[in-house]
Amino acid sequence: VSTELAPRGRGLNPPNARFGPWVPALAIRAAFVLLSVDLSTTVFSYGLWITLGIMLTAIAVGAPKLLAPWVLIVFYGGSLLWRAPSATDWRFFVLLAGLHLMHVLGSQMLVLPWRSRVQLRVAGAVLLRFAIIQVPCQAVSWAALTLFAPRGLVSISVPVVGVLGIVGLVALVLVLVGPMVRRSTSGAAVR
């Protein structure tokens, strides 16, 4: 038993825990709503679809465990079918980034309670990962649309695309298989 003196009781609540800069988890939901409403008005021009998108957004934010965010993603993705593919249509690229961001935000909404306080470093890491994935995806999409869109370059570039595809596949195999082989070898050495 320690011998320190205890002051007589006071009605005092302990202050919040400190862990650096943070944002409330509600900000994730707010960002999801803003993004979804923005995408809805961007990809749809008919009021009924916009209204449906907003209703689905409300469900997604209220009950992400019902997988409504991903239903919403499919809903917005389906809007492409009413529009001709084009490498010069900015809406496609906005949709590509927006749907990915909706998936990222939806995943966070799924696992983090709305009352949480989220360390800013967590949000930074999520956005950095989003950017790292999004940049090559945008580039590949632009290239693919440029080549394969109805008014693209596909008729004159098929052999080039084939060669590029094979080179890409080999590079992908090297990138993915190399670390796996190294990991299994190092694991065997440890055992």
Partner 1 sequence: VSDDDPGDAVEGDAARTHPAHWSLTIGFGAAVLVAMLCVAAGLASARVDVALLALPFLASAAWVWDRRARQDDGTRVEVLLARQEEEATIRYTVRVSPPRGTAVVQLRLAPLGQPPQELALSGHAAEVSGTVPMLHSGRLEIVSLQYRLIGADGSFVTVPAPPFRVENVVAPQVQQISSLPLPRQLPGVTGAHESARPGDGGDFRDIHPFTPGDRLRRIDWKRTARWAQSPGELYVRRTAALADASVLLVMDSRDDIGEFVGTWGKNPPAEQGTTSTDVAREAASSLAAAYIRSGDRVGFQDLGGDGRMLAPASGARQLSRLFSIITLSRPSEQAVVDRRRPPVVPPGVLIYLFSSFLDGEAARLATFWRAGGHRVIGVDVLPSPRFRSLTGDSQAAARIIAMEREDRLELLVASGVELLRWRDDAGSRAASLRALSRPAQGRPMQGRP
Applying CB under 8 A, which residues contact partner 1? 1-19, 25, 65, 67, 69-70, 73-74, 77-78, 80-81, 85, 92, 95-97, 99-100, 103-104, 106-108, 110-113, 115-119, 121-122, 125-126, 129, 133-134, 136-137, 140-141, 144-145, 148-149, 176, 179
CA atoms within 13 A on the CB side of 28: 34
Q: How far is CA 148 from the centre of its chain?
A: 26
Q: Smallest distance from the beta carbon of 112 to partner 1, in angstroms?
A: 5
| Residues paired with residue 23 on neighbouring β-strands, in sequence order | 118
Q: Which is nearer to partner 1, 9 or 47 (CB)?
A: 9
Q: What stretch of H or E contains 22?
A: strand 22-24
Minimum distance, C-beta of residue 58 to partner 1, in the bound complex (Å) = 19
Closest CB to partner 1 among residues 49, 68: 68
Nearer to partner 1, 47 or 128 (CB): 128
Backbone angles phi, psi at 22, to 5 degrees: -150, 165
Contacts with 137 (C-beta within 8 Å, 6 or more apart), sequence order: 96, 100
Contact of 57 with 36, CB cutoff 8 Å: yes
| CA neighbor of 40 nearest in space, from 30, 50, 48 | 50
Residue 73 beta carbon to partner 1: minimum distance, rounded to whole angstroms: 5
The minimum distance between CB 116 and partner 1, in angstroms, equals: 4
Question: Residue 108 CB: number of other CB atoms within 10 A?
Answer: 20
What single DSSP character describes residue 53? Answer: H
Instruction: Report, in Å, the least distance between residue 28 CB and partner 1.
Output: 10
Among residues 17 and 156, whose Cβ is nearest to partner 1?
A: 17
**Smaller CB distance to partner 1: residue 103 or 157?**
103
